[in-house]
A and B are shown apart, each in its own frame.
Chain A
């Protein structure tokens, strides 16, 4: 478990991940990978109306640099997939939402069991 005093380095390391997700095309790419699993480069064309294949490749490399995606060569193309850390974020989100329902349910319990 990290504590806040673990310092600036830790935070600085995470910042590019959030920054990389700040672009709508890259976000669309990540969303598709999240939903559909590994995909070849060609599949991302519809994520980016009007963006060239080179443009898409550039976006994929930005995501790769911050460690959000990785790729394997498949014939003349590349197959892209999300890295585990990204899935951890999605899982963390659900854990958090789940904990919030636990809190709300305890309040409901107090309300109906103790309340007049």
Chain B
């Protein structure tokens, strides 16, 4: 398994233009992502906002509720209409007391293409190998379902220990 990147590929039953707007228009992006973003996305510029529970899924909204108002920030990298949108960010940056600014960021890329029946979307997030290990552990610990993941993590840890 590649430890540096995540790749997701789906086909959405919606026209290319609508998918493009849902991703590149900061207000629409915020609606499904769960953030209130100030101003539009501009290539090369920082986009700042706050975590705002998503309006799309009530259960997820409930999970996001404790993080409401927390600073949300990305550095927009490329905007190529109908084709590609990318930004850099600090994944899992949920500790308001921690200064993430000197830590490496991952690169998130959305690639779109028109296909029969809708729009294909490929999302990749890369650069995880550069994220400090303690930050990765803290991200699992500090997350919505943190406890469940923590128990899984420790369960795996102990299982591995038993195997020697």
Contact = CB atoms under 8 A, between A and B. Distances in A.
Interface of A: 1-4, 6, 10-11, 13-14, 17-18, 21-22, 27, 30-31, 34-35, 67, 83-86, 88-94, 96-98, 101-113, 115
Given A91-B1, A96-B149, A97-B92, 15 more contacts: A2-B152, A2-B158, A13-B154, A21-B134, A67-B161, A85-B157, A89-B140, A90-B133, A92-B152, A96-B139, A97-B128, A103-B57, A103-B60, A104-B32, A107-B32
Interface of A is mostly: helix
B73 interface: no
Nearest to B149: A96
Sorted from nearest, which 10 A-B pairs have the closest CB atoms? A2-B155, A93-B136, A112-B14, A111-B32, A107-B56, A85-B160, A107-B32, A2-B151, A85-B157, A88-B156
Contacts of B32: 104, 107-108, 110-111
A4 B14 contact: no
Contact of A85 (B8, B132, B136, B156): B156
Nearest to A67: B161
Instruction: Place the interface of chain B in its size category.
Output: 35 or more
B153 interface: yes
Interface string B30-44: 011110000000000
Contacts of B161: 67, 85
B128 A96 contact: no
Contact of A108 (B22, B134, B139): B22
Interface of B: 1, 3, 6, 8, 10, 12-14, 18-19, 22-23, 28, 31-34, 54, 56-57, 60, 91-92, 121, 123, 125, 128-129, 132-134, 136-137, 139-140, 143, 147, 149, 151-158, 160-161
A111 to B, nearest CB: 4
B13 A113 contact: yes
